[in-house]
Amino acid sequence: MEESTIVFSYNPSPEEQPWTNGKVDVSIVAQTSEYQLQYSQDAKNWKNYEKEIEVKQNGAIYARLVNNLYEAVCQATGNVTNIDKTMPTATISFSSTNTDTASSITATIEQIDNQSGINITSCKWVYNTISENIGTNEEDYTGGDFITTPEEISLKVETAGTYYLHVLSIDNVGNKIEKISDAVILERVPTVADLTTNNYVNYVAPNGSIIKCAVLWDANSVYGRNGVQVIAMSVVEQVKFGSNDGWQVMANAYNSAISTLNTRANAYLNTTYASGARCVGSVPNNPSSESNEYYKYGLNTSPSIRKEDSNYQADYNQMNSLQITNINSQYWLASRAYWKHTGSYPYTAGCRYITTNGGLFTPKSSTITITGSETMICIYNDGFFGHIWYKAKEQTLGLRPVFTLKPNVKIKGDGTSSSPYILSV
């Protein structure tokens, strides 16, 4: 008797559904009722066929017709081929497994399924510090999706630690499996926030020149909480105040001195590395702070000069504490002084500055002679009407800027005076 006497049918059939990760129901029909129809899944153990057979894995299924003596008179073989319960596979490789938080690494992921095929657009990944399986819940894979295989992805995080790439691979019938990468060690890169007051940095001006700076206010100080402040260890330019040309010229220079000094310092602001620039001696957390009151004399209300301030004290005391006041050069402080005394010239006013030997210069009675390098305004009150005379001495001194560094700027190097930190982003 021919094999065609026995016919197999499959539900779902490969033609209807090429792949399933479920079961296939197999029906067997004999073209004759003269013999008993039997089936087996191993060609050894036979059972009488009574209803369709539930098959859960690919493989052969056997059928035969037997007579009353259970002798086979015909045998045929069917084959289930469209069940896919094999999990896809993934391989993960890295460009580096030991790097720092300033750098990115490249992960290459190849995903394969040799049966139903990989459903690449359903595959996902997440990069975290979990070393164990996180499971196959797709919502937990928040890093991103894939579009091809193999595929490269760039990984970068700003927090140091040991990281793992978790890949969720899914094939075309929904088989899911998680693949965990080897550990990636990320070391922390020091930033400006780590600077202390014994550190030095090389600040880069907008024109590319290097300005060696010392840390004046670190992140632990009241004035460094919104950004570490560093001070130039040399003057960057010369600024002249005063004139012998007349009262108004001198008074205007004096009245605008703080804003002028801060404006000149701001010319050295490189926004890549710093959020602010000011002249030393201004108020560290409010550089534009200055007195809005003016001195006026007698009945004469013009000209008038701004009152003195104590702006310089925070910077000056801190520089003395750090022993960085003396840079062997005179430089301005963004702070005004005023002195009233008896004598022919009872009023003295001018800007404070640091002398060549690092001392604080404040205009006072002993400087009213306007000799040498003093810079001031002397006012003579002549009677009831406040007639004003003046003596003025022009002065050119150095500008020593202070920069507020952005906290996420990276530092590299020794941080010493001889080998300052290098800034980078």
Strands 300-306 and 331-340: unpaired
How high does pLDDT run on average in the chain? Answer: 88
Query: What is the model's pLDDT at position 290?
Result: 87
CA separation for the pair 236, 69 (Å, rounded): 113
324 pLDDT more than 60: yes
Query: What is the model's pLDDT at position 351?
Result: 86
The residue that leads in pLDDT, 406 or 3, is 406
286 pLDDT more than 60: yes
CA separation for the pair 66, 47 (Å, rounded): 11
Query: What is the model's pLDDT at position 387?
Result: 47
Give how far the C-alpha of residue 81 lies from the chain's centroid of Cα atoms, to the nearest Å: 53
Burial of 280 (0-12, 13-18, 19+ CB in 10 A): buried
pLDDT confidence bin for 372, thresholds 50/70/90: very low
294 pLDDT more than 80: no
- Count CA atoms within 13 Å of residue 406 on its CB side: 13
Q: What is the pLDDT of residues 75-124, one digit of tens each?
A: 999 999 999 999 999 999 999 999 988 789 999 999 999 999 999 999 99
Lowest mean pLDDT among 4-18, 164-178, 312-326: 4-18
CA separation for the pair 90, 85 (Å, rounded): 16
Query: What is the model's pLDDT at position 292?
Result: 82
Query: What is the model's pLDDT at position 299?
Result: 57
**Do you know the residue count of the chain?**
425
pLDDT confidence bin for 371, thresholds 50/70/90: very low
Query: What is the model's pLDDT at position 202?
Result: 98
Query: What is the model's pLDDT at position 369?
Result: 44
- From the list 390, 300, 400, the residue with the least C-alpha distance to 349 is 390
**Cβ count within 10 A of residue 128:** 15
Query: What is the model's pLDDT at position 189?
Result: 87
pLDDT (mean) for 166-174: 97
- DSSP-assigned states of every residue in 140-206: G--SEE--SSSEEEEE--SS-EEEEEEEEEEBTT--EEEEEPPPEEEEPPPBGGG--TT-EEEEEPT
Query: What is the model's pLDDT at position 19?
Result: 96
| The overall pTM is greater than 0.75 | no
Query: What is the model's pLDDT at position 145?
Result: 97
Match 């632990």 to its residue by tokens.
220
226's CB contacts (< 8 A; 6+ apart) are 285, 404
pLDDT confidence bin for 367, thresholds 50/70/90: very low
Query: What is the model's pLDDT at position 374?
Result: 43
Between vectors from CA 299 to CA 298 and to CA 302, what angle results, nearest 5°?
95
Query: What is the model's pLDDT at position 339?
Result: 72
pLDDT > 90: what percent of the chain?
73
CA separation for the pair 407, 423 (Å, rounded): 11
Domains of the chain: 3-80 (2.60.40), 89-187 (2.60.40.10), 194-405 (no CATH)
The residue that leads in pLDDT, 235 or 292, is 235
Lowest mean pLDDT among 226-240, 271-285, 383-397: 383-397
